[in-house]
Chains A and B, each alone.
Chain A
């Protein structure tokens, strides 16, 4: 005989289902908040320590007194030059290889499998290994010395695996119907690639680009051995040039009293990174609108 005072079954089961649901939901919320919070914390900390020293002259002067005084203009210019070389070399190779992997190889093919595995291994290689390779090959064997060119090429080797794998995913995410429709309409393969596949695969390319640029801008170890440490305004890509990350590293590690300028430089670096990311999204968006999906 059931006791009538005991709450009826439906509400009990409701209660049971409710509890883990809520726990999972709040856990997911908590994790998401933690991730956002840590980003805000880092940016906020940088802004708090770095903003007081940030001024127009900091962006337009050369470093003085080992970086404690003066600005960072040559460092910013070197950074942009190295990044430019890195992207100019790696982007065409990236798109080419990704198209090869996604469009020109059979699924499960031996060569594609081998290329993919090598890329995955390369993507996980520590940057210092790329630095030693770049120093031995570009700087010494090819005689480029400590130069922006050598640093940019080393970075290109480093970010290529990340770029290719993510661009390839972009191409793979294009539904097969698009390819079939293009073939049915009698579009040539280059036209299909340029007009349909590339615009639709752009989000993958953008993700790869943002990860790659982030890794390139953060790099110190590989560049100490290739592009070097010279904080003078570079007059060509064969000059040695110091990047923002190396400047921060040197100020924080080797220069007593360099912390405040290290913070300010870090603030500039993270602002630069955000600007590049926004610009990438903007260009990708325009590219998408140009393509078939939005016409």
Chain B
């Protein structure tokens, strides 16, 4: 495979030459064959090989999925790599759905999923690494004290149009909803037993930070975002306020003791035929050794 060597920088650290290095060479060689001789057929997925050499873990893991979980898993992966220098873990993002699809298509070994697995996803193994909750936020100048379950349903279905109907000022409500396919939207809909088309949003957002920025700049907006992110932003002076839901304040403590109703697990999923290296990483990511990393990303370690 001489041509493939041209693309590889010399002086790669020893020991890293593992499973996928060789498989990449094969695929690149395959690509050249493909181009030169017009042979048909895709790349060979020759992943595998021995994940343990001389009693040390080695090889490469590809992880894709939820952008909410990615920064946390990136940090866990960095610590794992420090402990096992012959291991490389590549974390990519693209959303929960893509994480699941990539694991099924064997493009990735592990998927990041920021919701409960559905029954039709039972072919994948689930490993909870953290818990996140969603909080309802309003602008800090909004006088509304709290929202009940029914009031939230009313606001998001468009039946309640003015803040005065739920104890606020006489102003029109700006409803901020999450984009389709976002795990937060799915959690919101299933908790309030709503269908996607019943929600009447004024603004549609993608990420948590975007939701927080939208609410902080529009005094009549209401949105739901990750509790960790929202409490961090509100503690550093961003103009938002977290509302209690059904009388429970959205705090990390309420998440931890399980009293807050709107929570979701942050999971890693894998195929049943994972190798030892993948299993070792999954066990590590769910262990107490990484709880400080979970908390540093404003999530809560999973309840035992």
Contacts and interface: CB of A to CB of B under 8 A. Distances in A.
Interface of A: 65-67, 140-146, 149, 224-225, 228-232, 235-238, 240, 250, 252-257
Given A140-B107, A142-B31, A253 B207 contact: yes
B8 A236 contact: yes
A225 B206 CA distance: 17
Contacts of A257: 232, 236
A225 B233 CA distance: 29
A64 to B, nearest CB: 8
A67 B72 CA distance: 11
A66 B77 CA distance: 11
A56 B62 CA distance: 32
The 3 closest A-B pairs by CB, nearest first: A143-B43, A143-B27, A66-B71
Contacts of A143: 24, 27-28, 30-31, 42-43
Contacts of B74: 66, 229, 231
A247 B77 CA distance: 17
Interface of B: 7-9, 12-13, 16, 24, 27-28, 30-31, 34, 42-43, 62, 67-68, 70-72, 74-75, 78, 88, 90-94, 107, 206-210, 228-229, 232-233, 236, 296-298
A67 B62 CA distance: 20
Interface of A is mostly: loop
Contacts of B75: 65-66
A237 B24 contact: no
Contact of A254 (B7, B34, B42, B207): B207
Contacts of B208: 253-254, 256
A35 B70 CA distance: 38
Given A65-B296, A235-B13, A238-B7, A146 B90 contact: yes
Contacts of B88: 232
A119 B93 CA distance: 31
Contacts of B94: 224-225
26 contacts: A66-B75, A67-B71, A142-B31, A143-B27, A144-B28, A146-B92, A224-B93, A228-B92, A229-B91, A232-B78, A232-B88, A235-B12, A236-B8, A238-B7, A238-B28, A240-B90, A240-B92, A250-B93, A253-B206, A253-B207, A254-B71, A254-B93, A255-B71, A256-B229, A256-B233, A257-B236
Given A66-B71, A143-B31, A257-B232, A252 B92 contact: no
